[in-house]
Amino acid sequence: MLKFVAMALYISSLNTGSNGNCFYIGNQTDAILIDAGLSCKETEARLVRLGLDIKNVRAIFISHEHSDHIKGLPVLAKKHQLPIYITAKTHTSGRQLLPEHLVRPFCSTMPIQINGIEVTAFPKLHDAAEPHSFTISYNQVKVGVFTDIGDHCENLIYHFKQCHAAFLEANYDDEMLAKGNYPYFLKRRISSGNGHLSNQKALDLFLNHRSPLMSHLFLSHLSRENNCPNLVHNLFSEVADGVEIVVASRLQETPVYYIQEKVAKPALSAECQLMQH
């Protein structure tokens, strides 16, 4: 079972990639989900495997309306009566029948308090109606969820600099994308300023703007066709300088990590972690 540490944030990528995105961030008693791109059944199953209780989840925050971020939302929110924090344009563009009594519109840069956990949204560069990234804070610890980003703007740099841990997109390798089988229009869309973040752009952000307090970086939303987990892990590990590099999977959940103000360690035993892989 998961042993909680007081005053820490607990984080896991339940899945990240074009097949579904969902991130868990919480403390001992309360948690939120960023995006709901897995089915309700699969989300529940992954939380159980991690020793996390769905009853501790207090809300779902939606970054944008693409299906890999919202396809599990209606069932998950309705079954567990979870408030849905979503902008008006994202709600309209998502074209999903959401329980209206659960919908909570939010505005950029205005912090939202969820039982002591503070969630702040800010605009990002992506080809969606009203896309946002998020930072989640508790007890002076801050975690960022920065995926589906075409480029790093001033907003992203400002928030990344403050993070003790972050889920950061490293979607594609430039050479693999250029030489791959995708049609030209799709290659342009991915590599545009409103598409996805390349390994190199993610690395530039990490090298130039990471906080000295950062303990973990979770490389996220890797392309199945245009990236390689070992390639990107090695690329970042060579310059990590004490930051633990974790490649979040598009096939399974990561272990749960607890993030403290100065130290971050896996919350599961080594034996439990091996069972996850």
- Look at residue 101 and give its three-state secondary structure: helix
Phi, psi at 12, each rounded to 5°:
-155, 145
Looking at domain 9-275, which CATH architecture does it have? Answer: 4-Layer Sandwich (3.60)
Task: List the one residue out of 257, 222, 221, 275 whose CA is nearest residue 24.
Answer: 257
Q: What is the pairing mode between strands 57-61 and 84-85?
A: parallel
- Between the CA atoms of 51, 79, 37 and 39, what dihedral angle is there, to the nearest 10 degrees? 80
Give percent above pLDDT 90 in the chain: 90
Strands of the 264-266 sheet, one edge to the other: 103-104, 84-85, 57-61, 31-34, 22-26, 9-15, 257-259, 264-266
Q: At what angle do helices 199-209 and 229-237 cross, to 10 degrees?
A: 20
Q: Average pLDDT in the 97-107 region?
A: 95
Confidence of residue 49 (pLDDT cuts 50, 70, 90): very high
pLDDT over 70 at 20, yes or no? yes
Q: What is the pLDDT of residue 273?
A: 43
